[in-house]
């Protein structure tokens, strides 16, 4: 049986047309999209991709997708990515896979950002999923302390007992705010903390959500009910 993740991801690829520069997201849902794009490329679709992580880069290369970087373009036509949480205003938490910095750069450069999710990712209020905050390793304890003072109940993300390293060589501190009532204000506070490079709040970036519920597709566009 085809999963909700796969249904949503493969539906999103229908918006890709010849000649596009396509942002390639990271995570289990986005992987379905990348593999579907690979099939389309082998069937004659001509696109160039910008991956949001080394994991996605490797998958894309295996699929035969031509890749470029920002030395060749400042704009991306369309990006397909997943989310850890998304609310009815299409604001999101991302970063569970540790690729939030590259994901936010790619999302911000995209004319259209399509977020593909399974039904359990749609929430009334953001905050139940831990908010990833990417920080430099130097003085991370100081940054951690400031996140604690902000009420984030922080935890340093570990991998095999050692600090998890992002593709950029940074640490991630996961914060549990439980319910984020004012994402804009929280993002401002986070970005003012010395040592913070990026956070997993993706506000106002999603232009279209494609959600799979069972075998049904639910779509929502930005600023549309």
Q: Catalogue the active-site residues.
A: 103
- Strand order in 110-118's β-sheet? 66-67, 48-51, 21-24, 76-81, 110-118, 208-213, 216-221
- 105 phi, psi to nearest 5 deg: -60, -50
> What does the CA dihedral 157, 109, 11, 95 come to, rounded to 10 degrees?
10
Rg (Cα) of the chain, in Å, rounded? 17
Instruction: Please list the residues that pair with 112 across neighbouring strands.
Output: 78
User: Looking at the DSSP assignment, which residues form a beta bridge with residue 220?
Assistant: 209
Report helix, strand or coil for 131: strand
Quick one: CA torsion of 100, 105, 107, 112, rounded to 10 degrees? -170
CA distance 150 to 146: 6
Collapsed DSSP state (helix, strand, coil) of residue 5: helix
């Amino acid at each position: 049986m085809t999963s909700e993740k796969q249904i949503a991801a493969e539906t999103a690829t229908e918006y890709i047309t010849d000649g596009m520069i396509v942002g390639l997201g990271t995570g289990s849902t986005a992987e379905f999209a990348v593999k579907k794009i690979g099939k389309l490329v082998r069937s004659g679709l001509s696109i160039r991709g910008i991956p949001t992580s080394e994991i996605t880069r490797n998958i894309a290369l295996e699929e035969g997708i031509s890749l470029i970087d920002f030395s060749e373009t400042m704009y991306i036509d369309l990006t397909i990515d997943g989310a850890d949480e998304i609310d009815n205003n299409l604001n999101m938490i991302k970063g569970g896979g540790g690729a939030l910095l590259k994901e936010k750069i790619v999302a911000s450069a995209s004319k259209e950002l399509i977020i593909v999710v399974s039904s359990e990712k749609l929430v009334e209020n953001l905050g139940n999923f831990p908010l990833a905050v990417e920080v430099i390793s130097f003085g991370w304890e100081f940054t951690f302390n400031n996140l604690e003072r902000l009420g984030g109940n922080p935890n340093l993300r570990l991998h095999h007992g050692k600090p998890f390293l992002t593709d950029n060589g940074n640490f991630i501190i996961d914060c549990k705010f439980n319910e984020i009532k004012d994402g804009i204000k929280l993002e401002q506070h986070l970005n003012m903390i010395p040592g913070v490079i990026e956070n997993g709040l993706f506000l106002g970036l999603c232009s279209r959500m494609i959600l799979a519920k069972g075998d049904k597709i639910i779509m929502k566009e930005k600023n549309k009910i």
